[in-house]
Amino acid sequence: MIEIVGVRFENSNKIYYFDPKKLTLAIGTKVIVETTKGVDWGTVAFPNKKIPDENIVSPLKSILRIMNKEDFQKLEANKQKEKKAFRICEQKILAHKLKMKLVDVNCAFDNSKLLFYFTSDSRVDFRELVKDLAAVFRMRIELRQIGVRDEAKMFGGLGICGREFCCRGYLSDFQPVSIKMAKEQGLSLNPTKISGTCGRLMCCLKHEQEAYEELQKITPRIGSLVKTPQGKGRVEDANLISGKLRIRPEKEEDMPYTIDRSEVEIIRNGRNQNKMTKEEKECRKLEGK
């Protein structure tokens, strides 16, 4: 067993393990840590605990110290440098007539580099921009193109559910989301209703997909021939959550009725609807990063 603490960095929900070096740290403590990219700062996400050695990726980096007054002053100075770098970079982008949108700037805690995040609909040749920025700031410059989902994660906000964006609140990594998930969950294939602020399919579709897949295993498909206490019929509609089925009796003169899936015996299951509708084709544009 080895003692570790969990640390989360700014604008990231992923938690990294560090050696506390005999420090006892509470959740929320600001600390200076050693990383593969140099010295950085982070926030303790969970306190000291012991885990099996096989759960550790060696070598385990260390907590250097709890942030002191000088560290907070340096952090504030870096924030001011980021604001200045953002203004200057926007001016340089206009001067070079580059088709890109600057999203954020991050100054490494040890002042080793400035990292500029931007979005663009295409590849951008920013070599001259990097030279100009390096001449101004006299430090290493890095430009990184990100997607619209990453942009939403950086800025944060509230989703249509009224809660904080999942990506901003707790998701450590983006999971692929497909229009198939929305279809299987019985959602309206209306882009405005199934897309998030970022313009891509909502992350919560992925959260619920596993539950829907389990329900599909025990629910007859639409078009299935089934046997019920009232006789044989075909499934016209199915509510996966409630388990209610609307059955069209074999006898045309009989009215459709609703019954629970537990009372139904499948004679022949219906086929999956593989043909893509016009609405699905339009919504496919919402997939991707």
**Whole-angstrom distance, CA of residue 229 vs CA of residue 269:** 18
Tens-digit pLDDT profile for residues 7-64: 988 877 788 889 888 888 899 999 999 887 788 899 998 888 888 887 787 788 889 9
The secondary element (H helix, E strand) that includes residue 86 is helix 69-96
**Which CATH architecture describes the domain 219-268?**
Roll (2.30)
Tens-digit pLDDT profile for residues 72-116: 999 999 999 999 999 999 999 999 999 999 999 999 888 888 999
Tens-digit pLDDT profile for residues 5-18: 999 888 777 888 89
Cis peptide before 191 (omega within 30 of 0): no
Tens-digit pLDDT profile for residues 127-164: 999 999 999 998 899 999 988 888 888 888 888 888 88
Q: Sign of dihedral through CA atoms 209, 211, 217, 218?
A: negative
Fold held by 73-146: GMP Synthetase; Chain A, domain 3 (3.30.300)
Q: How many CB atoms lie within 10 A of CB 197?
A: 17
Domain map of the chain by residue range? 2-67, 73-146, 170-215, 219-268
pLDDT of residue 245: 92
Q: Quote the Cα angle for 246-251-252, to 5°.
A: 80
Alpha carbon of 171 to those of 12, 141, 176, 287, 288: distances in Å? 9, 28, 13, 18, 17
Cβ-count burial 226-260 (b if 16+ within 10 Å, e if not): bebeeeebbbeebebeebebbbebeeeeeeeeebe
Res 273 pLDDT > 70: no
Whole-structure pTM over 0.85, yes or no?
no
